[in-house]
Amino acid sequence: MRLLALDTSTEACSAALMLSDGEVSMRSVITERGHAELILPMIDELLREAGLQLADLDGLAFGRGPGAFTGLRVAAGVVQGLALGADLPVAPVSSLAAVADQVTAQAPSAGILVCNDARMGEIYWATYRREAMGSAPTEMSPERVSPPDRVLPADDVRHAAGNGFGRHPQLRERLLAAGLRFHDGLYPRADAIARLGAKVLAAGLGVSAEFALPTYVRDDVARPSGGPVTGMS
């Protein structure tokens, strides 16, 4: 499957291209701003190096959140524009699951807590497990947003990752005391979005451009009711 993926839900702005043989190339930069200006050149570079056009792809995938509202709108807008222009299906992928996917390769069958910073003194979090080798992480608890002191993973969760721990050291200390193993430096990344998105598309669960919408979690009424976020093409 040939698949283009992107994630701009955190300060890690990235794009990735998966080829038919499963090889993935990625461009990524850590920055607090400028995602809208960075993501399209990344996409253009990946396609140019592979000698491909959008029409040569089987689909698109993007990190649909939760994450920074502006970043989510950037990713959704870009994907909607590309999908409309090339008539491609889209796989919306949880940005938290994209972090869990990077951990499950090191910790198969173990429970994983993912915590990303939600600003305003809160954390986006969920827990996951990989049921079988090569499968996508299975959500054990739903995505939610809460203050750090309300992050309460189940007893069988033994691993933790995400950018929320660096910004909430007391949460990290509490979970370390509970015996969790930390996987530092992991952000939602487009290569993980590509792997998970390929499974979504292979299962026939891709959506059309107008349904490629962000998932905010914190304020679900902010979700667009329908139609593209932007008229990009």
Cα–Cα distance, 183 to 110 (Å, whole number): 13
Other Cβ atoms less than 10 A from the Cβ of 218: the count is: 16
Residues 89 and 192 in one domain: yes
Q: Are 180 and 158 in contact (CB under 8 A)?
A: yes
Checking 170-174 for CB contacts under 8 A at 24+ apart, the result is: 171/115, 171/123
What average pLDDT score do residues 133-149 get?
91
What average pLDDT score do residues 129-141 get?
85
Structure-model confidence comparison of residues 46 and 132, the more confident one: 46
Residues 84 and 100 in one domain: no
Q: Provide the whole-model pTM.
A: 0.91
Q: Is residue 177 part of a domain?
A: yes
**Residue 228 CB contacts under 8 Å (≥ 6 apart), including other chains:** 77, 80, 81, 84, 209, 210
Count of structural domains within the chain: 2
What is the predicted pLDDT for the residue at 130?
A: 83
Q: Which helix (H) or strand (E) holds 109?
A: none
DSSP string, 192-209: HHHHHHHHHHHTT--B-G
Structural domain span for residue 42: 3-94+188-222
pLDDT digit string, tens, across residues 212-230:
999 999 864 344 444 444 3
What average pLDDT score do residues 29-40 get?
95
Residues 138 and 156 in one domain: yes
Residues 72 and 116 in one domain: no
Residues 192 and 90 in one domain: yes
Residues 158 and 115 in one domain: yes
Q: Is residue 168 part of a domain?
A: yes
Q: Is residue 233 part of a domain?
A: no
Residues 14 and 52 in one domain: yes
What is the predicted pLDDT for the residue at 219?
A: 65
Q: Is residue 231 part of a domain?
A: no
The mean pLDDT of the chain is: 91
pLDDT digit string, tens, across residues 101-126:
998 766 667 799 999 999 999 999 99
What average pLDDT score do residues 201-208 get?
97
- What CATH number should be reported for the domain holding residue 137? 3.30.420.40
Residues 25 and 88 in one domain: yes
pLDDT digit string, tens, across residues 41-97:
999 999 999 999 999 999 999 999 999 999 999 999 999 999 999 999 999 999 999
Residues 90 and 10 in one domain: yes
Residues 23 and 80 in one domain: yes
